[in-house]
Amino acid sequence: MPFALPDAGCVTPVILPDGTPHAGTVFLKNVIDHPQIEVGEFTYASVFDPPAPDGWAAMLAPYLFPMSKERLVIGRFCQIALGVRFITASANHAFDGLTSFPFSTFALQSETPEQPDQRHTIVGHDVWIGYGAMICPGARIGNGVIVGAGAVVRGIVPDYAVVTGNPAQVARMRFAPDQIARLNHLAWWHWPVDRIAAARPALEAGDLDALEALAS
């Protein structure tokens, strides 16, 4: 039987051997309804104790509120492990005065709270974020990045880097610069689902020539 991707519109794409869906793995696009969060198709998150369907946004990005001025954007085919948190810009306090205490937070009925940091957090396509990683405000993570378990990511992470540690540093690049350019040009994550399914052997084998042949 030929391989086929699961329906992008389903909630629980992993079906266990007994035929039941695995509730702890979800396609995030289909469980997050938040005005400041955008998630691409086939991006999933996995946990052992899944929240209610409307609780995924608060679990992953606890400081991102509907009235926040920043956005969290996650691309297609990303993989988000247990314990990952996006600490978005609304979590930051102003500290250019004599105190960092957020007085305006306690005067919401009479004042518009100040938000000193309005940077968006952007995650590219085909990114794997490992167990317990923390993504800080304004991080921009490129395509194909692997974020190591427990890493604390700040700033810009180049395409196809492997980053580890606190603060996260590039441990190595997954591919040579010319290969990265070819992968970004192919952008297989935007292909029709049947073509992506057909490309599975090339993707898993790391056969860039075969992947390029499928693109033509």
For domain 25-174, which architecture applies?
3 Solenoid (2.160)
| Threshold 0.75, pTM exceeds | yes
Instruction: Give me the pLDDT at residue 105, please.
Output: 79
Domain ranges of the chain: 25-174, 177-216
Q: 10 Å Cβ neighbour count for 176? A: 10
Which residues are known catalytic residues?
93
- The one-digit pLDDT tens for each residue of the chain (216 residues) are 689 999 999 999 999 999 999 999 999 999 999 999 999 999 999 999 988 878 999 999 999 999 899 999 999 999 999 999 999 999 988 888 899 888 877 876 666 667 778 899 999 999 999 999 999 999 999 999 999 999 999 999 999 999 999 999 999 999 999 999 999 999 999 999 999 999 999 999 999 999 999 997
What is the predicted pLDDT for the residue at 22?
A: 92
Whole-angstrom distance, CA of residue 92 vs CA of residue 197: 42
> What is the predicted pLDDT for the residue at 129?
98
Q: What does the alpha-carbon distance between residue 155 and residue 161 come to, in Å, rounded to a whole number?
A: 13
User: What tokens were used for 89?
Assistant: 């810009």
Give me the pLDDT at residue 13, please: 96
CA distance 189 to 127: 11
Q: Residue 45 burial (CB < 10 Å; 0-12/13-18/19+)?
A: buried
> Half-sphere exposure (CA, 13 Å, Cβ side) for 122?
12
